[in-house]
Amino acid sequence: MPSTLVPLAIGAVFASTHSFFAAFAALSAGPLLGAIILYFVREGGRRDSN
């Protein structure tokens, strides 16, 4: 579903700003946010003290 909304969102950004840079910056915001969130994820979970 989100992949069908991306062209609409990028088109709206380009239509309002008339800038490809702003459209590509908006396009890169999602993966950048995901990378920042994944930076704080710990692997391995909880360990027992046994």
Distance CA 22, CA 45 (A): 39
The answer to whether residue 9 is domain-embedded is yes
Q: What is the CA radius of gyration of the chain?
A: 18
- Helix axis angle, 2-17 to 20-39, nearest 10°: 130
What confidence tens digit (pLDDT) does each residue in 35-44 have? 999 999 988 7
The answer to whether residue 44 is domain-embedded is no
The answer to whether residue 8 is domain-embedded is yes
Res 45: pLDDT: 66
Res 30: pLDDT: 87
Res 22: pLDDT: 95
What confidence tens digit (pLDDT) does each residue in 1-50 have? 678 888 999 999 999 999 999 999 999 998 999 999 999 998 876 666 65
Q: Report DSSP letters for the chain, one per residue.
A: -HHHHHHHHHHHHHHHH--HHHHHHHHHHHHHHHHHHHHTPPSS------
Looking at the structure of the chain, the number of domains it has is 1
Res 47: pLDDT: 65
